[in-house]
Structure 1
Amino acid sequence: MSDFDKRIKDELHKRTTEESQGLKDEIWNGLEQELFKEERGDVRKMKKKGRIISVIGVIAAGLLIALSLQTDTGSAFIKSVKDMFAPEKEITQGIEGQDEETEVHLNEGKNSEYIIYVDETRYKMMKGEDSDVITTIEPLPEKYPEVKMEITQVANEKPEDLVKKIEAELKVDFPELREIENVTEPVEGYLLHGINGSEWDSNVVHLYVISNGNEGSYVIREDYFLEAAEGHGARFHYMLESFEIVGE
């Protein structure tokens, strides 16, 4: 732990007295209520709908007020809230009809504006100028179509407008593109799905347009082939369940 981090910890400990305990409890209870929900009695799990974790800003602001922290220290504290996400965890995913235990690793997106857990035994995340791409660690043999999931933020177009433009563009290569669907899983927004043919290697596009929490959108495009729908397609779905917009 660096001296700077130690000072933050010591300051937090010093100022979190019985006098401020009520406010602290209220703030962290708010976090729990936002991130968790009850399912089947007392079983609780984290929501995974790609929604904005606006509560992070509320918690950080509340604690900054309660602890009288300065701007630089406050920025570090906001980062520490993000760091609550475990760097790796075990998940169970259904692949081709079988349950599979998989270790996934936390990855930050472009400018640390979102996080996603990636199965790093099979995939890698590459950050680009305009988008981030999750693809196979090793390129597939030449006979296979490309397999990737690309995440792009469009800052100035709302999902309901952008999805119509993307629909028109996709219909050029996918004339039997399905109608736009409203979905809540694995993320909440609009879904476009198309298959270009019926052969094992026919190209598949599976694309989500979701809100970025402001006046813009995230476009999450999956490309794979028909035979890989229950393999790569399913794995992309499970990775997207962990997609969370955190912002700065």
Structure 2
Amino acid sequence: MSKFDERIQRELEQKTNADVHELKDDIWNEINKELFEGRKTVMKRKKRWIPAVLIAAAAFVIAFTLQTEPGLALIKGIKDMFVPEKEIIQSIEGQDEPTEVHLNEGKDSEYIIYVDESRYKMIKGEDADLITTIDPLPGKYPEVSMEIKQYPSDKPETLVKELEEKLKVDFPELRDIETVSEPVEGFWLHGLTESTWDGKIIDVYVISNGKDGSFVITENYFLEAAEGHGARFYHMLQSFEIIE
């Protein structure tokens, strides 16, 4: 079960107050009408299909036992999870900081992420989306950005190894691939060019897109900004959700 599915299920379970047995009876009555009333001749010829139909129906009932008024509970759960804006508490340089974040949709609405729009803006591109500072940094500072790009036909296990080889050119001390569960679930690559205030840092997360491909999230910042921009990117990325 994906992180998104688990959140949906938790929301529905917390809102369960309806009479589930009545709901089950209604569903089974409809199944009984569909399968047996006026179709005895047909059923004799298609008897071998009944188990599959009943299994599907049972799964349908189980799914609905998680809900109260099924449609309303689901809609309210999703609305509560994806409010247009909300306040979060994030730890920046060792201090808890209340921050208002805003819901943003990715390219083709295939994912959502909450962005701190007091400091950053999201730019949607043809091939990738970019989250960067509202105002460009002065020329002496290295790039600060988070790129989100989908690779529809490249599996994470293969793609992360290819990216590792490419990144080693600019980041010779690139760490070995790690499997992580935070801020997202997938593979993580981390590199630093040099241990100076302006040493470039790169964080690359490679995660499944829920199908046959991957999302690659690439964060660029610098050593002095690790507890600032780096921490803010981490907190924003925790809100990343793939939407089908």
State the TM-score, normalized to the length of structure 1.
Answer: 0.69
* CA-CA distance at 1:32 after TM superposition: 3.6
For the residues of structure 2 that align with 1:35 and 1:165, how far apart are their CA atoms? 40
Instruction: Report Cα offsets for 1:184-228 as digits up to 9, x if no partner.
Output: 001000000000011100110011000000000000000000100
* CA-CA distance at 1:35 after TM superposition: 8.0
Quote the residue 2:8 is aligned against: 31
| C-alpha spacing 1:124/1:35, structure 2 compared with 1 (3 Å) | farther
For the residues of structure 1 that align with 2:228 and 2:104, how far apart are their CA atoms? 21
Return the index of the structure with the highest Cα Rg: 2
Quote the residue 1:168 is aligned against: 165
Unaligned runs of 5+ in 1: 1-28, 38-57, 70-77
Q: Are 1:212 and 2:189 an aligned pair?
A: no
Quote the residue 1:152 is aligned against: 149
For the residues of structure 2 that align with 1:244 and 1:206, how far apart are their CA atoms? 18
Match for residue 99 of structure 2 among 102, 121, 124: 102
Q: How many residues align?
A: 184
Unaligned runs of 5+ in 2: 1-5, 15-59
* CA-CA distance at 1:87 after TM superposition: 0.2
Q: Are 1:86 and 2:83 an aligned pair?
A: yes
Amino acid corresponding to residue 133 of structure 2 in structure 1: T
| C-alpha spacing 1:35/1:160, structure 2 compared with 1 (3 Å) | farther
For the residues of structure 1 that align with 2:235 and 2:144, how far apart are their CA atoms? 15
Determine which structure has greater relative contact order: mean sequence separation of CA pairs < 8 Å that are 6+ residues apart, divided by chain length: 1
| C-alpha spacing 1:220/1:36, structure 2 compared with 1 (3 Å) | farther
Does structure 1 retain, via aligned residues, the 8 Å contact 2:147–2:219? Answer: yes
For the residues of structure 2 that align with 1:212 and 1:185, how far apart are their CA atoms? 16
**Any runs of at least 4 consecutive aligned residues in structure 1 with deviations exceeding 6 A, and if so which?**
34-37, 78-81
Amino acid corresponding to residue 117 of structure 2 in structure 1: E
SS at match of 2:137: coil
Does structure 2 retain, via aligned residues, the 8 Å contact 1:148–1:223? Answer: yes
Amino acid corresponding to residue 33 of structure 1 in structure 2: R
Amino acid corresponding to residue 242 of structure 1 in structure 2: S
Amino acid corresponding to residue 203 of structure 2 in structure 1: H
State the TM-score, normalized to the length of structure 2.
Answer: 0.70
Match for residue 125 of structure 1 among 122, 144, 165: 122
Quote the residue 1:134 is aligned against: 131
Instruction: Report Cα offsets for 1:154-183 as digits up to 9, x if no partner.
Output: 000100000000000000000000000000
* CA-CA distance at 1:33 after TM superposition: 2.4
Quote the residue 1:234 is aligned against: 231
SS at match of 2:167: helix
SS at match of 1:138: coil
For the residues of structure 1 that align with 2:10 and 2:78, how far apart are their CA atoms? 17
| C-alpha spacing 1:79/1:123, structure 2 compared with 1 (3 Å) | farther
SS at match of 1:111: helix
For the residues of structure 2 that align with 1:86 and 1:30, how far apart are their CA atoms? 14
